[in-house]
């Protein structure tokens, strides 16, 4: 029992201690660590958020978390709908904000289950309390898995798909990279099928129309779209 209490205390202390450190230190994710420990390749070059296309930032926010600049790490409305669906035995969609995804990738495991989802909520609130929105987005863009061969972060994803630096993305390439994220192992932005092109087109239209919703991650609070 004592060992269990100690283990729980350590697990709680890790994000409490490391999150403030990530204000200045560039982190690696749990999936990256797993690949390092199992001898599999990891391709990641860190990019400062101001050296990443504003079109990609807008596309990701409008695709993944339209309220990112407004919520405190958790989208309460979306989360409540997920809880209601779970209780009713209906399909759930996740309701993970970008902040919740950052918390999961830095401190938790990827297998979907209610325990992990429950842990994501307080972790995301804590991350949002400690880190500015722009830093959260910068971490997300540099730890997201963007390819099937250990490509992490937008620099590796953009280079693999389009042979471009992440600041040199037009609307088409930005939206295709954005919609790759839910399943980068299967989805290939370099060779998109009709379905992926359709979804990317929807995201592009949203980002062009509502891009100001992502202004909190721009340079001096503005996006150059």
Over residues 165-206, the pLDDT tens digits come to 999 999 999 999 999 998 899 999 999 999 999 999 999 999
Average pLDDT over all residues of the chain: 88
Q: Is residue 224 part of a domain?
A: no
pTM: predicted TM-score of the whole model, two decimal places: 0.90
78-92, 120-134, 137-151: lowest mean pLDDT where? Answer: 78-92
The domain containing residue 76 runs over which residues?
2-217
Helix (H, G, I), strand (E, B) or coil at 210: helix
Q: Percentages helix, strand, coil for the chain, rounded to the nearest 5?
A: 60, 5, 35
Sorting pLDDT into bands at 50, 70 and 90, what band is 115?
Answer: confident
Q: Which pLDDT value is given to residue 117?
A: 82
Q: Is residue 222 part of a domain?
A: no
Q: Which pLDDT value is given to residue 2?
A: 61
Q: Is residue 212 part of a domain?
A: yes
Q: Which pLDDT value is given to residue 82?
A: 47
* Contact between 153 and 144 (Cβ < 8 Å): yes
Domain count across the chain: 1
Q: Is residue 150 part of a domain?
A: yes
Q: What CATH number does the domain containing 178 carry?
A: 1.10.3810.10
Q: Is residue 223 part of a domain?
A: no
* Contact between 133 and 60 (Cβ < 8 Å): no
Q: Is residue 99 part of a domain?
A: yes
Q: Which pLDDT value is given to residue 147?
A: 92
Tokens for 160, please give them: 């693999």
Question: Which of 206, 173, 171 has its CA nearest to residue 64?
Answer: 206
> Is pLDDT at 12 greater than 50 in this prediction?
yes
> Is pLDDT at 85 greater than 60 in this prediction?
no
Q: Which pLDDT value is given to residue 5?
A: 56
2-11, 61-70, 154-163: lowest mean pLDDT where? Answer: 2-11
Q: Which pLDDT value is given to residue 217?
A: 96
> Is pLDDT at 1 greater than 70 in this prediction?
no
């Amino acid at each position: 029992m004592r060992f269990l209490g100690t283990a729980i205390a350590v697990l709680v202390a890790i994000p409490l201690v490391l999150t403030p450190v990530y204000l200045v230190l560039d982190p690696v994710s749990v999936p990256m660590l797993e690949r390092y420990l199992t001898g599999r390749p990891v391709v990641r070059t860190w990019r400062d958020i101001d050296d990443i296309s504003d079109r990609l930032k807008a596309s990701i926010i409008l695709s993944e978390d339209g309220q990112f600049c407004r919520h405190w790490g958790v989208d309460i409305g979306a989360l409540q709908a997920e809880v209601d669906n779970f209780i009713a035995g209906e399909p759930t969609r996740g309701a993970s904000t970008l902040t919740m995804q950052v918390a999961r990738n830095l401190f938790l495991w990827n297998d979907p289950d209610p325990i992990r989802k429950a842990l994501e909520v307080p972790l995301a609130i804590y991350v949002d309390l400690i880190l500015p929105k722009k830093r959260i987005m910068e971490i997300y863009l540099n730890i997201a898995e963007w390819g099937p061969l250990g490509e992490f972060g937008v620099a590796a994803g953009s280079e693999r798909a389009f042979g471009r630096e992440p600041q040199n993305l037009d609307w088409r390439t930005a939206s295709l990279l954005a919609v790759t994220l839910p399943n980068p192992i299967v989805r290939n932005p370099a060779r998109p099928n009709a379905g992926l092109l359709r979804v990317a087109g929807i995201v592009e239209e949203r980002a062009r129309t509502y891009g100001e919703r992502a202004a909190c991650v721009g340079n001096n609070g503005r996006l150059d779209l």
